[in-house]
Chain A
Amino acid sequence: MAVAGLRGWYLSDPDDVVPFPKAESYGSLPIKNLEEDLELKSEKGKTWTYKQSRHRQWELDFILTKDQLQFFRDLHDAVEGRGTPFYFVEDLDDVEGTSYYVKKEKDFNPSDEKYGAPEGVDTEYYEYTLFLTQEPTEDEIGV
């Protein structure tokens, strides 16, 4: 069941969406656009630009308890690092409208265990950054 205000993921069926255990920290970079272009420049400076691909990229910082960290480890195992693309849901209120076909970073590499009160109560916690890169969108040609 979708939970408003959080992000989530699923492999292929939107009904199987799994919400992230918490929102990313304030200051994360929610969306970047990466443009891959080919550009040729004439002798006198006219440029010809040819679009190759466009990617969205998310760089989401989390401060996680051990159980919360396990959620992302499970995600990593399920998609084999960069091995399998999956759907990232930006807004669980609108699963189909905000889903992006993405791959996560290759390794699962959270920080070492830390101790403190990131949420007001002293506890062990981990810092983890989830990198998501959108797979190229599909082009279409006619018959």
Chain B
Amino acid sequence: MMTKAVPWARDLGFEVTRIEKGRVWGSQPWDDSLVGDPDTGVIHGGVITTLLDNLCGMSCSAILSDFRFVATLDLRIDYMRPADKGRAIIGEAECYHVTRTVCFTRAWAYHETRDKVIATAAGAFAINQPRPADKLESLA
């Protein structure tokens, strides 16, 4: 779905699997081309960063009552353990606080459950003000 409109997300091949109010889940399949360490076959951290960045942004859209675009202000990632070679990575993001201009999010990446997490993320997103109608043509 939404990832189809985002070339870099589409190129990496991840999918959104579930959406609730303020929460989004996604899955990033393992692929040869995403490897960051050719000796071990571990996926590069940048893939996890992209996955969690995208899911965090979507969790903001999933909590706001009006449709708005959000832009990442900052994102912090902590790597707990390497991902296993050949396995898909599950990402889960939640938007836990909203102000008029900023959404606060956190996210997790894991194979099975959040008990054994690969990486965690915390990000703040700026809520873009709606564009005037005459500028919306470019969205069509």
Q: Do A and B bind each other?
A: no
Residues of B within 8 A of A (CB): none
